Structure 1
Amino acid sequence: MEEEVLQNLEPKADVAAQQCALARLEQLKNSEVGWQFCMSTLTSGMTQHNHLRFFCFQVVEHYIKNHYNSDNLADQQRVREFLSCWIQLQCTQLGRQEATFLRNKAAQVFALVFVRDYPLHWADFFGDLIKTLSFGPHAIDIYIRVLKAIDSEVADRDIIRTPQEAERNAAIKNAMRGSCVEKLVESWYHILKTYETSNPELINQCLEVIGAYVAWIDIALVANDRFIELLLSLLHRTESREAATDCLHDIVSKGMEPLDKLQLIETLFPVLQNSGILKPLQDDETDFSCKLSRLVNGIGLNLIDAYNKLSKSGSTEQVALLQNAVEQKVPVMIEFLNNDYDDVSAAVLEFAKEYIHVLKAKVMQTEEQLAYAHTLLVTVVHKMKYDESYRFEQEGEDEATFQEFRKQLKVLFDNLAGVNKELVIDYVSKFTTNTLSEWRTASFQDVEIAIYLLYLMGEAIPASGGNHFTGDQTKVSAMQTMMHVLVTCDVSHHPHPAVTLQYVETVVRYEKFFNTEPEHIPYVLTAFLDQRGVRNSSPLIRSRCAYLFSRFVKCLRQVFEINSTLIQPYIKEVLGPLEDLLILIPPENGSSLISEDDQLYLYEAAAVMIVSGAFGAQQKGMLMSNLLIPVMDKFKTVMSQLLLEVDEQKQELLAQCLCHAMAVTSRASKAFTNHQTMKSCCCVPVFVEATKVFLRCLQIPTQSQVLQSGVRQFLHRMVVCLEEELLPYIPQASEGLLKGSDIRSIQEYVPLIVQIIAKFKKEVIPFLQQVFMPIVNAIFSVLSLPVEENDEQGKREKQLLQRNYFQFISAIVTNNISEVLNAQDSQFLEQVMMSIIRGAVDFPDPVAQKTCFSILRKLVELWGGKEQPDGFTQFIYKNIVPACFMAPLKSTFDLSDAQTSLALAESAMCLKAVLQRRKQMFQAKVGEKIKMHILYFITFFHKSCHLGDDVEKYSRATQATDDNMVHVQCLLNK
């Protein structure tokens, strides 16, 4: 029957038969005899198909993991006979050696049997396994794979173990140390010696096993003369040297006491040096060089770790021995760090970093250590340089790898500055000034790194207050010299993009240099605006320069004011070349030299120069008009085109162009400050005119959502910058922005009206009295629309609109313009008030609940006295007070949530406001029971809500004995 199953799994069998066979094979895993059938199949040659044999191994594996019982002698004997027979079949000429993945699976089965039987039920497991080595290379291959699988089961620290597994593994390793480890080591030596020249694959696998086991066996068994001699021999064989190097790395990385580790490395390292291994290799030996570099890194890190441990508890002599041992390895580390191949260099970065940390910890470095630091600095700078093959315009994976490598080198550079900043300042100053003085004859790599080192100085040696040109005179003098050379040597004209980018980055980083030498500002501004900067042939440089130009100009506001006579005449010359870059290009006319995002930076920079320049107010207004009137003219032209356009795709492009016009105008308004306002600069008329022009687009029937979004963003800026001049345009804007009445447009409109209320307060009362009802009705209408159960985005938008609605009401009461509410129809006002009550109680949104309770509290404070709207007193007792209890009693009211706790505190504050405003009348209106509940509730939250002492004293004097208090107690317990 089972043979037939296997035959039906052959590729030639039909699909139905294969499916039945697969189902039957799955049953084998849980069959009492299925594992026996599979073992028989594997040793009888019943099938030669690898996927079927793999399945049979899986069945055996499943049995051993879940059902194997070492006390069942019969089953135990069957398993051992299977393992022995399978090995013999692999090693005979009649047998067929399994594929690699099948041998690995078989090794896992061996390991599973081992951890269940050893040492109690199969004490001589390794003895029996070693006996099979006489069968030849195939047996040795299986032996090594089994050892690797056992290591994975017993000793691999990357695998998470249960406490029981950890205890079991510890017992297994102890038993192995006491009985068979020496036999294993002898077998390894025999394999290495026998197949040293004939079978490199076996050699490499054996070396991998030695490296794995050396972590938990006696190091003396491997770190001895005969093994080291053999490993050295393998290091000179091309096929095995990489594996031998990894094995040596594992040996030196074994956990040991500091002095034992010192003895091990100091014995091994001279042998490696004398053998000629630790020397520069040929270009075609990069992989081996990486392995050697990793070995040197391991040696250095282990010595430094031992040094750090002994520094805390060892004697002075012992610490000195370890320090000397570390120092002796530094030249070798530097040699590998300086290798032409970055992969080789990267392998010793950790050693270099840790050694520099050792130097940083010292109060005073020796001359030898300073010499090492200097050599490391020179090496780091050399390795930071770009290679000729670096693709600056089409960066790929190799370029990304180098940039990551450069970041690691930067860490070394920063740490070297921490070791001895004078050393770094002196080296960088000389290298940078010399290179920049002769940049025309130097390679682009040297020029770029010279500027980059100057750039790095800002982080490597931080300045107090962020000004690198005050304080330590040594550094200040060097920085001023380097910056002076940078901006006067014409290196900005260098043709290579890497140099150009580094130049502009560095100039902007050290903008405070121009406080001391402002005469260089015009030159730098020109560099930003001509072919070196925003007109460069490289889009990357153009984009970066646009952003940095804006930053540079904003940083120099004060310099423009202080040095007005020097810079003022030049500002007009700067604004002139900007004109063609500030032109809005309609989509049908192609693209501008710079992107729309980059234009935003340029408009802001131009506006900053106008506002910060030492011009008269009228002249500033004229320059700002010159900047923005072309934008408005282009806006009108494009708007006319949009009205006539019928193609939907072109309509969208034209609408985006209109939004961009509004965006650049908004960005220009960011130039104004509290000191230099729009009004003081006589720029109000041009922005008012822009408001008039832009609001017209709200009447366009197409692309309304896109245009509304642009208008909203523009108006947000105008609310900040304009004063009462904006008020006449708010009604028109509101009418246009509410035209669509969809959830998104209303949701985004409410923050704008809230901002207007906060800015103008009483001045917008007449307008709000008229639009309050339309706005609220529009919100109610949208909120009443059903949302599908699985529409998560729709639910989120609805929740945001609810929050915005409550923020709108809150803005009215918080800014003391409750006249807006008083002017509404009483029936409509009651509808609004009840919506706030529902928001406080029924909406499972703690942010909205907190806002609602805040609104109710403010209304109580405003209207809770004698002069109040008709019916509000009854509203307090009928709705507000119950809401303060009903909300926390809801099942959705989660006190473990921070926002919910804030909502609860706000409800308590609301009750406090009722008590303070109504007092005796409040006590008379509410029943004795409710009064007790309220006082108990307020007292409980006294500390978190900062309630007044009078409430606390009053509540303490009142005895709350009513049985109904249990409801409040449940809430408090919750």
Structure 2
Amino acid sequence: MDDLEKAILISFDESGAVDSALKAQAVGYCQQIKETPSICSICIERLCFSKLVQVQFWCLQCLHEVLRVRYSSMGPEEKSFIRKSVFSLACYESIDDKNLVRVLDGPAFIKNKLAQVMVTLICFEYPMIWPSVFVDFLSNLSKGVVVIDMFCRVLNALDEEVISLDYPRSQEEVAIAGQIKDAMRQQCISQVVRAWYDILLMYRNSDPDLCCSVLDSMRRYVSWIDIGLIANDAFVGLLFELMLVSGFPDQLRGAAAGCIHAVAAKRMDPKAKLTLLQSLQIRKVFGLVAEDNDSELVSSVSSLLTGYSTEVLECSKRLNSEDGKAVSTELLNEVLPSVFYVMQNCEIDETFSIVQFLSGYVGTLKSLAPLTETQSLHVGQILDVIRSQIRFDPAYRNNLDMLDKTGKEEEDRMAEFRKDLFVLLRSVGRVAPDATQLFIRNSLASAVASNGDVNVEEIEAALSLLYAFGESLSDETMKTGNGLLGELIPMLLSTKFPCHNNRLVALIYLETVTRYMKFFQENTQYIPLVLSAFLDERGIHHPNRNVSRRASYLFMRIVKLLKAKLVPYIETILQSLQDTVAQFTTIYAVSKELSGCEDGSHIFEAIGLLIGMEDVPLEKQSEYLTALLTPLCQQVEALLLNAKAQNPEESPAKITNIQQIIMAINALSKGFSERLVTASRPAIGLMFKQVD
């Protein structure tokens, strides 16, 4: 081991056992060697003799950097030496008779770094200086697996480093990529595709990992090569065989699905594209999604089905001919049941893509009236998908109810996850309002009839559907309660779910009642039911403090909207709230989770709005206000009188208590207009001044 190798090993050391000064010295020495004119020869020599992977990596990394920086200043002989040496390494050949080490025998990261060096040379030299690089490589594939694997790594690195538009590229890089693709199309891509086919045929039973590498390369290149090279009976037939034969590993079958997906996603004229999609006979893979629901294969097939469906839908949008639209509709009708099955039964990563596709599909239905029987069936299945996807996992039930750290994370995750699903629900609601309302009615009825303790998540999902649907309704529709709304809202109000003590169920129930509060403006006969929902154990008297405080805020909003219509119920409301009012002003500490906009003071604002109306007689108004203000003021006076006698430890709690009372009085005063307390009923204003 010479000094360079020692320095490389020390510079790569991560154990902490090497002295920092020595490590810095080693790094400096390596940098010094890197700057010598003969560095490329030094690196290639080490690659021929050193078995140390750290040394191999450093040499390849050094070659990569030097080529990028110094290539233009190199002489023809040096370029030729590097070209021949690097290509020999990539083809498992000896650079000279003394070559004792083969880089391709090393680990994957060494081979990937060698592929990166090859790609750097290709960028500089192909096709003008080194036009035969790919043809030369193809002639070496007969050496077997190790060279085929390296060829795939070079193709993949070329895609990642130069061609793929998944990464930002400069204009110069785009130009180089275009030059390489044009030359490959003209010179060798048909031979590359033929090699792919032959390798898959030869190694499908003996080396599935190698076949996966070939399919990965192929998937990347489909987007820009002549699609006819792949989309033919022989190659597509082979890909379907790899995908459908159960004896092959899932990874190989999934890789084949990825290639079919790439073929389906190929950009082309919509008419030709539709013909291509029709020729794929995608129905052959429908049975695969019913295998192991959370397998890698099902995930790949799900991605294929989603991508295929999206492409068919896009063709349908772009084609104006009746024949084109008929074929598109037929293909969609064929694939959609499998898409729905995947969404409802499989653990996949394609949920977002499928929701985006379904949103696009529903969008195309807007111009179709009336819907066909099949389209109506699809609408129902989409609603089923939405309901199944928005359900919480029962495994998190206790976490969500207690709202611990895990529960909070799951609630936040689901809130984000549901956004697109609820957008889809509203789109369906606009396309098929009657069907959507009927679905929600049936979901709610099923939830009502279910065993609440077992189906907490089903009940929460049904209520969430009704809540989200309300966003798509106009104020007029909401007020009149057209369609099934006139049945849905009373059903909601009259229901006491067995699991109403569950935090999530209680919250979405109250939010949903509030969402439809405009309905009660016109349908005042339901006001007693609304009040019961908020004043009993479903709302303000719920055992969970989070729920009761939220109920106080929502009740205040209800009061603001209904105001005068609540005058006949003021006595009932105040009696129901007596314990809540007393409790608010005697709690010595405010929970951090409940502080801020939902601190509980909204119940006083709601009371203020109720008794502050001019519809309430002055005598009654004075009576109500006195009953509220007198005990509050007496509490403050008592606390202040006892301030000197109390223990220092009690001071913070007593101060908090006084702040609570002041907050309550302030909230109460918000319900009284300035005109009422100064002009029409100054006696009321005087009562508030006396408090000050």
Fold shared, TM-score > 0.5 on shorter chain: yes
For residue 427 of structure 2, what is the aligned residue in structure 1? 415
Report Cα offsets for 1:78-112 as digits up to 9, x if no partner.
11232134235699996463332222222111101
What is the CA distance between 1:352 and its match in structure 2?
Answer: 1.5
CA distance in 1, matches of 2:492, 2:329: 42
CA distance in 1, matches of 2:668, 2:76: 89
Tell whether 2:208 aligns with 1:196.
no
Partner SS for 1:512: helix
Report Cα offsets for 1:750-782 as digits up to 9, x if no partner.
xxxxxxxxxxxxxxxxxxxxxxxxxxxxxxxxx
**2:56 alignment partner, one of 53, 56, 80:** 53
| Root mean square deviation of aligned Cα | 3.2
TM-score w.r.t. structure 1 length? Answer: 0.64
Partner SS for 1:61: helix
Q: Is the CA contact (8 Å cut-off) linking 1:511 and 1:552 kept in structure 2?
A: yes
Tell whether 2:111 aligns with 1:107.
no
- Listed as ranges, the matches of 1:133-282 within 5 Å are 133-235=141-243, 236=245, 237=248, 238-268=250-280, 270=281, 272-274=282-284, 277-282=287-292
What is the CA distance between 1:305 and its match in structure 2?
Answer: 1.3
- Listed as ranges, the matches of 1:587-666 within 5 Å are 587=589, 597-612=598-613, 614-640=615-641, 654-666=654-666
CA distance in 2, matches of 1:613, 1:526: 25
Distance of aligned partners of 1:44 and 1:626 in 2 relative to their CA distance in 1, 3 Å threshold: same
Partner SS for 1:157: coil
Distance of aligned partners of 1:571 and 1:203 in 2 relative to their CA distance in 1, 3 Å threshold: same
CA distance in 2, matches of 1:249, 1:685: 77
CA distance in 2, matches of 1:421, 1:135: 65
What is the CA distance between 1:41 and its match in structure 2?
Answer: 1.6
CA distance in 2, matches of 1:675, 1:286: 70
Q: Is the CA contact (8 Å cut-off) linking 2:553 and 2:600 kept in structure 1?
A: no
For residue 309 of structure 1, what is the aligned residue in structure 2? 318
For residue 47 of structure 2, what is the aligned residue in structure 1? 42
Report Cα offsets for 1:485-542 as digits up to 9, x if no partner.
2222444874443332222112111223333444543443344344332343333323
Q: Is the CA contact (8 Å cut-off) linking 1:57 and 1:105 kept in structure 2?
A: yes
Distance of aligned partners of 1:139 and 1:209 in 2 relative to their CA distance in 1, 3 Å threshold: same
For residue 357 of structure 2, what is the aligned residue in structure 1? 351
Distance of aligned partners of 1:643 and 1:249 in 2 relative to their CA distance in 1, 3 Å threshold: farther
What is the CA distance between 1:583 and its match in structure 2?
Answer: 1.8
Distance of aligned partners of 1:18 and 1:577 in 2 relative to their CA distance in 1, 3 Å threshold: closer
**2:87 alignment partner, one of 84, 87, 90:** 84
What is the CA distance between 1:598 and its match in structure 2?
Answer: 2.6
For residue 467 of structure 2, what is the aligned residue in structure 1? 455
Distance of aligned partners of 1:524 and 1:613 in 2 relative to their CA distance in 1, 3 Å threshold: farther
Distance of aligned partners of 1:78 and 1:539 in 2 relative to their CA distance in 1, 3 Å threshold: farther
CA distance in 1, matches of 2:317, 2:137: 43
Q: Is the CA contact (8 Å cut-off) linking 1:535 and 1:593 kept in structure 2?
A: no
Q: Is the CA contact (8 Å cut-off) linking 1:571 and 1:609 kept in structure 2?
A: no
CA distance in 2, matches of 1:675, 1:652: 38
For residue 897 of structure 1, what is the aligned residue in structure 2? none
**2:456 alignment partner, one of 444, 461, 467:** 444
Partner SS for 2:394: coil
- Listed as ranges, the matches of 1:571-582 within 5 Å are 571-582=573-584
Tell whether 2:36 aligns with 1:31.
yes
Partner SS for 2:517: coil
The residue type paired with residue 661 of structure 2 is A
Distance of aligned partners of 1:435 and 1:14 in 2 relative to their CA distance in 1, 3 Å threshold: closer
Q: Is the CA contact (8 Å cut-off) linking 1:297 and 1:350 kept in structure 2?
A: no
Q: Is the CA contact (8 Å cut-off) linking 1:334 and 1:379 kept in structure 2?
A: yes
**1:126 alignment partner, one of 126, 134, 150:** 134
CA distance in 2, matches of 1:167, 1:477: 60
The residue type paired with residue 662 of structure 1 is I
Distance of aligned partners of 1:239 and 1:446 in 2 relative to their CA distance in 1, 3 Å threshold: closer
For residue 940 of structure 1, what is the aligned residue in structure 2? none
Partner SS for 2:272: helix
CA distance in 1, matches of 2:473, 2:92: 70
Unaligned residue ranges in structure 1 (runs of 5+) = 692-974
For residue 468 of structure 1, what is the aligned residue in structure 2? 478
Distance of aligned partners of 1:657 and 1:375 in 2 relative to their CA distance in 1, 3 Å threshold: same
The residue type paired with residue 184 of structure 1 is V
For residue 374 of structure 2, what is the aligned residue in structure 1? 368
CA distance in 1, matches of 2:172, 2:292: 51
Q: Is the CA contact (8 Å cut-off) linking 2:277 and 2:308 kept in structure 1?
A: yes
For residue 293 of structure 1, what is the aligned residue in structure 2? 302
- Listed as ranges, the matches of 1:490-889 within 5 Å are 490-491=496-497, 494-561=500-567, 564=568, 567-587=569-589, 597-612=598-613, 614-640=615-641, 654-673=654-673, 676-677=676-677, 680-681=680-681, 682-691=683-692
Q: Which has the larger radius of gyration?
A: 1
Unaligned residue ranges in structure 2 (runs of 5+) = 11-16
Q: Is the CA contact (8 Å cut-off) linking 1:468 and 1:476 kept in structure 2?
A: yes
The residue type paired with residue 46 of structure 2 is T
Q: Is the CA contact (8 Å cut-off) linking 1:390 and 1:399 kept in structure 2?
A: no
More relative contact order, 1 or 2 (CA 8 Å, 6+ apart): 2
Report Cα offsets for 1:383-430 as digits up to 9, x if no partner.
433443243224255554444343322222211122222322343345
Partner SS for 1:67: helix
Tell me whether 247-256 or 634-643 shows the greater mean CA deviation: 634-643
The residue type paired with residue 230 of structure 1 is L
Partner SS for 2:491: helix
Q: Is the CA contact (8 Å cut-off) linking 1:439 and 1:447 kept in structure 2?
A: no
What is the CA distance between 1:347 and its match in structure 2?
Answer: 4.7
CA distance in 2, matches of 1:209, 1:641: 82
Distance of aligned partners of 1:9 and 1:176 in 2 relative to their CA distance in 1, 3 Å threshold: closer
What is the CA distance between 1:221 and its match in structure 2?
Answer: 0.9
Tell me whether 337-346 or 410-419 shows the greater mean CA deviation: 337-346
CA distance in 2, matches of 1:595, 1:425: 38
The residue type paired with residue 547 of structure 1 is Y
Report Cα offsets for 1:882-939 as digits up to 9, x if no partner.
xxxxxxxxxxxxxxxxxxxxxxxxxxxxxxxxxxxxxxxxxxxxxxxxxxxxxxxxxx
Report Cα offsets for 1:228-264 as digits up to 9, x if no partner.
2222232232231222222221111111111121111
Q: Number of residues paired by the alignment?
A: 669
Distance of aligned partners of 1:286 and 1:551 in 2 relative to their CA distance in 1, 3 Å threshold: farther
CA distance in 2, matches of 1:490, 1:652: 41
Percent of aligned pairs sharing the same letter: 25
Report Cα offsets for 1:689-746 as digits up to 9, x if no partner.
222xxxxxxxxxxxxxxxxxxxxxxxxxxxxxxxxxxxxxxxxxxxxxxxxxxxxxxx
Distance of aligned partners of 1:357 and 1:688 in 2 relative to their CA distance in 1, 3 Å threshold: same
CA distance in 2, matches of 1:88, 1:24: 32
What is the CA distance between 1:544 and its match in structure 2?
Answer: 2.0
CA distance in 2, matches of 1:476, 1:282: 45
What is the CA distance between 1:10 and its match in structure 2?
Answer: 3.5
What is the CA distance between 1:438 and its match in structure 2?
Answer: 7.0
The residue type paired with residue 366 of structure 1 is T
TM-score w.r.t. structure 2 length? Answer: 0.88
CA distance in 1, matches of 2:101, 2:7: 26
What is the CA distance between 1:481 and its match in structure 2?
Answer: 1.8
Partner SS for 1:183: helix
Partner SS for 1:171: helix
Q: Is the CA contact (8 Å cut-off) linking 1:534 and 1:545 kept in structure 2?
A: yes
